[in-house]
Chain A
Amino acid sequence: MKVSSQKKTYYWTAFFFIAPGVSFVFFLTLYPFGQAMLMSIFKVTSDSRTFIGLANYQRAFQDNLFWLSLWHTLYFTVISVSLHYFIGLGFALLLYRLGKSIVSNILRGFLFLPWLFASAVWCVTWQLILHPHFSVLNALFNSLGLSRLSHSWLSDLSLLPLTILSVVSGLKFFPFHMVMLFAALQVIPLELFEAAEIDGASSLQKFRSITWQFLKPVTTIILCYDTIGSFYYFDLVWILTRGGPMNETEVLSTYIFKTVFQLEGSFEYGSSMAIILMIILSIFIMVYIKIFLRGEFEI
C-alpha cells in the first residue's frame, strides 16, 4: 500500500522528534549495558583478552562475599524503603490533618530539608554525627547527662550498623514519599469522609476504605522507584563504613566498586556482578508490576 506523502512527512517528523531521546537512551544505557555484557564474558591480562563464557558469573555464585553483599542489599532495601514510606506517610497524614495553615506550611518546608541536601553532604554530616570519637550525637547525650546512651554507633556490632545506615537513609529520603502521598491525599473528595461518618465508619475503616484506596496507586509507584534506588545506593555505605566492620555493611554496590577499582581492577568480574544485580531487580519489577499494577484502580 502506497503511503501518502502526508503520512511520510508525519512519520519523518515524529522520527526527528524522538531521535534525540532514543539516542540518549541508546548511548547512555543500552550501549554501556551491551559493553558490560561483553566485558563480563572475557578475561583480560596484560597481553590478551580471552573469551571465558559464563565463568565470571559462576565465580560470583561461588563467592561468599557476593551472597553476603546481596543479602545486606536486600536487608538495607527493605528497612530503608519501609522507613522512607512509613515516616513519609506519617508526616503526610499530619500535614493533611493540619490543613492549610502557617504551621503546616512551615512544617512542610522544614520536613523537606533533608531531601534538599546533596547525598554526599548528608553522608559526611552523618559521619561527624556518628564519628567513633568525636560524635556530635554522643556529645549531645553527654551534655544532657545521658552518657550511657553514647555508643560507637558504626563499630559496635550489637547495634547492627547496617540498620543504623538504613535509619540514616530513612531520614534522608522520607520527604519524597511525604510529598507524593500528601499530594494524593489532597485529591480525596471530602464528601466521601462525610458519607463514611454518616454510615458510622471508624477511623480505621475510613482509612482502609477511602484514604488507602487513593494512596494505593501512588504507593505502588513510589515503592517501586524507591526500591530500585535503594538497591543501587552507594554513597551512604561508602562514606560511613566502607562496608565494614567485618563486611557487616557490605552491599553489592560497594563490593562491585571495590572489585573494579580497589581489589582486583577486574572490570569483567565487576560487570558480571552488576548484571546479576540488574537481572534480580528486573525480575522483582516484573513480579511487582504483575501483582500490584494488575487491573485498573476503581473506587
Chain B
Amino acid sequence: MKKENILKGSNIVLLMLIFTFSLVFASVLCFNDFAQAEKVTLTVWDTSSNERPEAVKAIVKAFEAQNPDIQVKIETTDWNSFAQKSLLAGEANVLPDCIEVGGDWMQPMAKRGYLEDLQPFIDKEPDGFIDDYLMATKDSWTGTYSYLPWIANVMGFYMVEEYLKEAGFTEAPKTWEEFEEVAKKCTIKGADGKVERWGFVSSQKSSAEFVRMLLNSFGAVFENPDGTSGLGSPEAIAAIEYKTRIEKNYAPEGIAVFEAKESRDIFMAGKAAFLAEGNWMNSMLEVGMMPGLTWKPFLTPVKDVPTAVVGPEEYGIGKGTKHPEEAWKFVKFITGPEADAILVKQFKGIPSHRVNMSIPIVHLDPLVAPFADQLANAKRIEFYGGYKTYGAFVKYGRDTYQKILYGKMTVEEAMKELAKKIDEEMAKQ
C-alpha cells in the first residue's frame, strides 16, 4: 500500500515536470516566431556561392545592413544541376523568392512563366535605372524584363606566353589572320610526326564561345528581324569556314566531341597555346594551370570592328513569391552598382554597370582589363540569350559543327541546313 502511494506521488511530480518543460519550450518557440515575424526571410537560390562564396557573402552582408528588416537565406546548387532544380521547382510552383538564372535555361524559365515580370518594379524606379546596366535585355519570349544581369561573363581567349615567344611572337594576335598565323606556328609536331602541342583548343557545345565570338566578329546576324535564323547568311558561313579551318589544322584530333572539360584539360595540361573561353576561367586557371607556364587572357581578334559576346548571369523573382517588394529590393541590390562594385573591387569581376567601368582595377588588372576593355570598346555586343531562336540553335548547333568536322557536309550546306532546322523548330513551338 505504502509503495503504491509513493509511486502515485512520483507520477504527479513527473507529470508536473513534463508540463513545465513543455510550457517553457513552447514559450521559447513562440517568442522566436514573434521575433522572426518582425523580419522577412528571403530564400535565394544561387550557384555563384560555389565559385565566389566570399563575394556573395559580402553582398548579402551589405544588403542586410541596409535592410535590417530583411534576412537573406542563400541555398547554393552546383551550376551543372541548377537547370534541373530550377525548372522542376518552377513546374511544381515551389520557387524561392529570388533565383539566379543563366546559361541555356534562362529563357525556358521566363518562357514558362516561372519568373515575375520585373517591369512594374522597374517603372517605379527613377529614370535611367535600366540604362546604367550594360546588358539588361527583355526576354525574347515574354517581351519584358524577366531578369536583370548581375555578373558580366565576357567571352575571350587565353594564351600561354611561353609558346608564343617560342614561335616568335611578343604580342597576342589582334586580327583573325594573325590568330591563324600564331596558331599555326604554335602547333608543334614531334619527330614521329605526331602533334605534341596544338595551337588552339575549344569546346563544341552548341553555344560554344569560339563560335559565338566568330559569328559576331564576322558580322553574322543571329536572328533576322522577321524571327528567322540568320545563320545561313554568307557572313555566318564565312565565320564557320574559319572555325573549321582552325580546328582541322591546329586543334586536337577528336575536337568534334569536346565538352568544356576536355578543352580546359588540354589547355591546363600545357598542350595548347590558345583556349577560347570567358573571364570565368581566371579562377580555374589560377589553381589548375600546369606549373611553370604563364597564361593570360587577350581580346577577341578584330575583323572589321571590335566586338564582344556576353553571357551574363541574371537574377529574377520566383513567380508567386510571398514577399515581392522585399524580393525586388534584393534583386535590385545584387544586380545594382553597389554589389557590382564589390564584385569588381574585391573579386576581379567585370562590371555590369557603366558607372563602375571607371574603377581603376577594371583597366589595370591584367586578368580583368582585356575583358572589360573588350566590352567597353565593342561596337557590336551580342547576348545570344536574347533571341527566340537561341534554344533551337543550342539544339542543332553541335550536330552541325560535327557534321562539318567529320566531313559529312560542306560548311555552306551545314549552315543552311542549320538555319532551316532552326526555322522549322520555331514553327513547331
Contact = CB atoms under 8 A, between A and B. Distances in A.
Contacts of B262: 131-133
Interface string B181-221: 00000000000000000000000100000000000000000
B59 interface: no
Contacts of B111: 45-46, 265
A261 B107 contact: no
Nearest to A46: B113
A263 B271 contact: no
Contact of A245 (B113, B256, B395): B256
A247 interface: yes
Contacts of B107: 265
Interface residues of B, number: 39
Contacts of B265: 133-134
A133 B266 contact: yes
A262 B262 CA distance: 20
A261 B84 CA distance: 6
A45 B395 contact: no
Nearest to B114: A46
Contact of B113 (A44, A59, A156): A44
B248 interface: no
Contact of A262 (B109, B142, B394, B408): B394
Given A262-B104, A265-B109, A265-B111, A152 B394 contact: no
Interface residues of A, number: 29
Contact of B429 (A132, A152, A264): A264
A267 B252 CA distance: 37
Interface in A140-167: 152, 154-157
A116 interface: no
B42 interface: no
Interface in A47-70: 47, 59
B428 A265 contact: no
A244 B402 contact: yes
A224 B105 CA distance: 37
B257 A45 contact: no
Interface in B67-91: 83-84, 87, 91
B142 A46 contact: yes
Interface in B214-270: 252-254, 256-259, 262, 265-266, 269
Given A133-B252, A246-B402, A264-B391, A154 B257 contact: yes
A262 B108 CA distance: 9
Nearest to B81: A261
Contacts of B266: 133
A242 interface: yes
Contacts of A131: 262
Interface in A98-152: 131-134, 152
Nearest to B398: A244
B113 A152 contact: no
A33 to B, nearest CB: 16
Contacts of B354: none
B121 to A, nearest CB: 17
A211 interface: no
B399 interface: yes
Contact of A267 (B91, B395, B408): B91
Question: In this complex, which of A154, A264, A265 has the most chain B Cβ atoms within 10 angstroms of its Cβ?
Answer: A265
A209 interface: no
Given A244-B398, A246-B406, A267-B91, A132 B257 contact: yes
Contacts of B257: 132, 154-155, 241, 244-245
28 contacts: A44-B113, A46-B142, A132-B252, A132-B253, A132-B257, A132-B262, A133-B252, A134-B265, A134-B269, A152-B253, A154-B257, A155-B253, A155-B256, A155-B257, A241-B257, A242-B259, A244-B257, A245-B257, A245-B402, A246-B402, A261-B87, A261-B105, A262-B105, A265-B87, A265-B108, A265-B112, A265-B391, A266-B108
Interface of A: 44-47, 59, 131-134, 152, 154-157, 241-242, 244-247, 258, 260-267
The 8 closest A-B pairs by CB, nearest first: A265-B108, A132-B254, A46-B113, A155-B254, A152-B254, A155-B257, A263-B395, A246-B402
Given A133-B252, A244-B204, A265-B391, 13 more contacts: A46-B111, A46-B112, A46-B113, A46-B142, A59-B428, A133-B266, A156-B254, A244-B398, A244-B402, A262-B104, A264-B391, A265-B108, A267-B87
